[in-house]
């Protein structure tokens, strides 16, 4: 699969609203427009997979009225965007727990998942009632059951099996963006982000749009990803020089 995987922690809706003397939910409402902008822009900018953190498992700690409005917005988003997503070849899927999502929002979500299942332009993944630690725990349980059934030897268990169980084979994000200036992961994709490039944006999520995404991607393209290896210049050192240096140390 070609194209980048970009993950976004969409933060700052409340602050956006507060600075405009509006209630918090108006920030969430404005945030839906940013989702639409970013989803429209992503394929042109070389993004093939887009994972958006929409609701964390810790967000249940918020007042029930705010939580209710967030799921109402999810339902509206699914109902309103359905045709456009389908026309643009966007495949929408949700990651996270489904059993606590209010029934009407879940119905709308699963209906969009179903109609857009054939989309090949953009993989849009919404993280809803998502917790990375819970995802890792669930994957561990799945593997433990396979071991208990005798299908998998403990010694054959490598990070590859764990990776497949956690990610379902979706490649790790190349770039993580968090808006609104906070520099933390808030239990998002802890396993997958091992070598992801991090980008912190000061604009709040409702302010974020195509130009911000372009800027983040331009910054990403200037970076040198090493995955633990030496940089390209250092790699040209002949093996004999390495042996000599190691000999000198030993
Ligand atoms: C992000 O904005 C939306 C969700 C977490 C659902 P916030 O609601 O966290 O906004 P701030 O961080 O309070 O400004
Ligand atoms: C993370 O943002 C969750 C989402 C963006 C959906 P929060 O606003 O909930 O995170 P904290 O509480 O600031 O860490
Ligand atoms: Mg926040």
CB 74 within 8 A of CB 96: no
Q: What are the structural domains, with CATH classification, of the chain?
A: 4-249 (3.40.1180.10)
Look at 5-19, 64-78, 81-95, 223-237 and tell me which has the smallest mean pLDDT.
Answer: 223-237
Q: Could you tell me the pLDDT band of residue 235, with boundaries at 50, 70 and 90?
A: low
Other CB atoms within 10 A of residue 58 CB: 12
How far, in Å, is the centroid of ligand 2 from the Cα of 45?
26
| Nearest ligand for residue 52 CA | 2
CB 6 within 8 A of CB 47: yes
Would you say the pTM of this structure is higher than 0.85? yes
Angle at 135 between CA 33 and CA 157, to 5 degrees: 140
How far, in Å, is the centroid of ligand 3 from the Cα of 14?
7
* Burial class of residue 60, CB neighbours in 10 A (0-12, 13-18, 19+): exposed
Angle at 232 between CA 172 and CA 159, to 5 degrees: 30
Angle at 23 between CA 180 and CA 105, to 5 degrees: 85
**What digits encode the pLDDT tens for the residues 58-104?**
999 999 999 999 999 999 999 999 999 999 999 999 999 999 999 99
Q: What are phi and psi of 51, to 5 degrees?
A: -110, 120
Nearest CA to ligand 2 atom 8: 11
**Which amino acids bring their CB within 6 angstroms of ligand 2?**
9-11, 53-56, 59, 182, 184, 186
Confirm whether 13 is a catalytic residue. Answer: no
CB 208 within 8 A of CB 232: no
Q: Please name the residue ranges forming H helices in 158-209.
A: 159-167
**pLDDT at residue 229 tops 70:** yes
């Amino acid at each position: 699969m070609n194209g980048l995987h970009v993950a976004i922690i969409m933060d700052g809706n409340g602050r956006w609203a507060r600075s405009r003397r509006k209630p918090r939910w108006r920030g969430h409402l404005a945030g839906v427009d940013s989702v639409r902008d970013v989803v429209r822009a992503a394929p042109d900018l070389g993004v093939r997979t887009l994972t958006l953190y929409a609701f964390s498992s810790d967000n249940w700690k918020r007042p029930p009225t705010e939580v209710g409005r967030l799921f109402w917005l999810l339902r509206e988003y699914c109902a309103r965007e359905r045709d456009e997503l389908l026309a643009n070849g966007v495949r929408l899927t949700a990651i996270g727990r489904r059993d606590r999502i209010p029934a009407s929002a879940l119905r709308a979500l699963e209906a969009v998942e179903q109609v857009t299942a054939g989309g090949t332009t953009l993989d849009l993944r919404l993280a809803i009632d998502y917790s990375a630690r819970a995802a890792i725990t669930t994957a561990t349980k799945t593997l433990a059951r396979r071991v208990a059934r005798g299908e998998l030897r403990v010694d054959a268990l490598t990070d590859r099996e764990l990776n497949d169980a956690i990610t379902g084979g979706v490649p790790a994000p190349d770039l993580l963006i968090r808006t609104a200036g906070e520099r933390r992961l808030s239990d998002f994709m802890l396993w997958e982000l091992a070598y992801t490039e991090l980008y912190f944006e000061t604009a709040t999520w409702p302010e974020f749009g195509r130009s911000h995404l372009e800027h983040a991607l331009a910054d990403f393209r200037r970076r040198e990803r090493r995955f633990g290896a030496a940089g390209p210049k250092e790699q040209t050192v002949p093996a004999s020089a390495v042996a000599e240096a190691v000999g000198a140390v030993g």
